[in-house]
Structure 1
Amino acid sequence: MVNPLLRLDGVHTHIGQYHILQGVNLTVNEGGITMLLGRNGAGKTTTLRTIMGLWKPSQGTVTFDGKPIGGKDTPSIAQSGIAYVPETMAVFHDLTVEENMKLAARSGPPDAARLEWIFGFFPALKRFWHSPAGVLSGGQKQMVAIARALVEPQRLILIDEPTKGLAPAIIEGMIGAFQELKRQSTILLVEQNFRFAAALGDSVAVVDDGRVVHAGSMADLVGDSGLQERLLGLSLDAHQ
């Protein structure tokens, strides 16, 4: 029996008067990429933010590596081995790529061998190492944001819509990077681009109206256009 790395049981999250998550049950096993899919406003980003402690669950439990983390503060959750890449591409625009990476390394200067490993995924970062992050393209900024989450080893990486607003050619390049990255880390990834999700996902959970309404293998969802249409309002076949 596989022990899940991350587990949400009956998680509810309120933001002000709004009841966003309404009993989310989610399991992320160690290794590979779990895709978190759903229509706009379904609760995907709120799920990631609740895991990271940016929003506090009003009910239910969040367990990471067998330990409860629901309701803990965000720095404590990060120190337990979880990194978060928000959809806002959280980089410091006035700082160089190098300075952005140094700030993300909590335990000291980034390890040179690990930086070379990251450059293998995102070679543009090496070229722009001494450039202000603000002059980079959208895709390159997203690479910096992801690289910041990788600068120290993490058990789990939460990534929110890494392809949002990116050109198709950049997205194709990121697929290759993520295929290598998922061999090293467990990833929970929110994505709207179904082709990207289909190329990378090992397992999938679909959120609708604040609940997980489907969970299973990504391959099964990719192979069932009727299920895609019912859950997501789309069909991969229709976009071939």
Structure 2
Amino acid sequence: MHEMPEPKTGDDALLSLTGVHTHIGEYHILQGVDLQVPRAGLTVLLGRNGAGKSTTLRTIMGLWHASRGTLRFDGEDITASRTPDIARRGIAFVPEDMGVFAGLTVQENLRLAAIGGRFDEARLAWIFGLFPALKRFWLRPGGTLSGGQKQMVAIARAIVEPRKLLLIDEPTKGLAPAIVDNLADAFEALKARGTTILLVEQNFHFVRALGDHVAVMDDGRIVHTGTMAALDADEALQARLLGLHAGAVH
């Protein structure tokens, strides 16, 4: 297994997990995760099906609590924090199932995430610039949208207020290439605004161009960390690490 470099510490790590264990019932899913997410970049979390990627995101968000270890965000210990408190600190989560409310319109889905139910019109205009199609189905119920449209809504809802960190689980799964390209442009625009992104994704072609940093999971642990540029340039390392999750879904 490829030797991991020394983890990032200090001001360049917006989020750090140290020795994090998570149990779900009788199952010991995360088994000592050490992960650092540097500020103002996109970190990709790779790994085979069942390696613990989604559990890592849910543990960060407080949907499941770590049974051991420490999570720190922006200098504060959030290990025992509740999900609403974590969200108020500036973390948003886009789950794999997108979580769009089927009976609410797109407008109502986004309004739920806006402080006081009120939109910042300038920010909303910026979001429409990222996802122009949102305007076309603004008043349509979420349940009538395609998968790609729902993904746009889910991400737009996560960024309707400024966030320090976005946790995004498998955003391109099952989407048409044109929608994937739209998501890539949106992520680049978010990075340009200083938003930090932690992305779980199986489409290596998609993330190799977007990612700044990469971490690979296997059996509930991080087994490789480094820059995406280094992984992209090393075919032997790709073959070894991507064999952990080639063709898998999570």
On whether the aligned pair clears a TM of 0.5, the verdict is yes
* 2:202 paired residue among 192, 198, 222: 192
Which sections of structure 2, spanning at least 5 residues, go unmatched?
1-9
- How far does residue 83 in structure 1 lie from its aligned partner after superposition? 0.5
For 2:116 and 2:51, the matched residues in 1 are separated by 36
Cα-to-partner distance string for 1:18-47 (whole Å, 9 max, x where unaligned):
111011000011101011111111100000
1:145 is the counterpart of 2:154: yes
Tell me what 1:66 maps to: 75
- Within 5 A, what are the aligned runs for 1:153-164? 153-164=162-173
For the pair 1:220 / 2:222, whether they are aligned, the reply is no
Q: Which of 72, 75, 93 is matched with 1:84 structurally?
A: 93
Give, as a single letter, the amino acid of the residue that structure 1 aligns with 2:232. Answer: V
Does the Cα contact within 8 Å between 1:87 and 1:162 map onto a contact in 2?
yes
- Of stretches 176-185 and 14-23 in structure 1, the one that deviates more from structure 2 is 176-185
Among 9, 18, 23, which residue is 2:18 paired with?
9
Distance, in Å, in 2 between the alignment partners of 1:145 and 1:189 is 14
Larger mean Cα displacement after TM superposition, 106-115 or 24-33: 106-115
Specify the SS of the correspondent of 1:87.
coil
Measured after TM superposition, the shift of residue 71 of structure 1 is 2.0
Question: Does structure 2 retain, via aligned residues, the 8 Å contact 1:229–1:235?
Answer: no
Q: Does the 8 A contact of 2:111 with 2:118 survive in 1?
A: yes
8 A contact 2:47–2:244 mirrored in 1: no
Q: Which amino acid aligns with 2:237?
A: L
2:67 paired with 1:51? no
Q: Spell out, residue by residue over 1:171-198, the C-alpha distance to the aligned partner (whole angstroms, 9 max, x if none).
A: 1222122111221211001001111111
**Secondary structure of 1:144's partner?**
helix
TM-score normalised by L of structure 2: 0.91
Question: Is the 1:226–1:235 Cα contact (8 Å) retained in structure 2?
Answer: no
- Pick from 120, 124, 128: which aligns with 1:115? 124
2:42: which partner in 1? 33
Moved over 2 A (4+): none
Give, in angstroms, the shift of residue 68 of structure 1.
0.4
Which residue of 226, 230, 233 maps to 2:240?
230
Aligned pairs, number: 236
Alpha-carbon distance in structure 2 between the residues aligned to 1:63 and 1:235? 28
Match of 1:129 in 2: 138
In 1, distance between residues paired with 2:24 and 2:244?
Answer: 29
Which 5+ residue runs of structure 1 have no aligned equivalent?
Answer: none
The answer to whether the 8 A contact 1:228-1:235 is kept is no
Normalised by the length of structure 1, the TM-score is 0.95
CA distance in 1, matches of 2:149, 2:38: 30
Verify: 1:100 aligned to 2:116, yes or no.
no
Q: How far apart in 2 are the matches of 1:229 and 1:105?
A: 43
Is the Cα–Cα contact under 8 Å of residues 5 and 29 in structure 1 kept in the other structure? yes
SS of equivalent to 1:45: helix
Cα distance in 2 for partners of 1:49, 1:154 equals 17
Confirm or deny: 8 A CA contact 1:12 1:20 kept in the other structure: yes
CA distance in 1 between partners of 2:183 and 2:165 (Å): 19
CA contact (8 A) 1:35 1:190 kept: yes
Q: Secondary structure at the match of 1:182?
A: helix
Helix, strand or coil: the match of 2:152?
Answer: helix
Question: In the alignment, residue 175 of structure 1 is paired with which amino acid?
Answer: A
Q: Distance in 1 between matches of 2:39 and 2:189?
A: 16
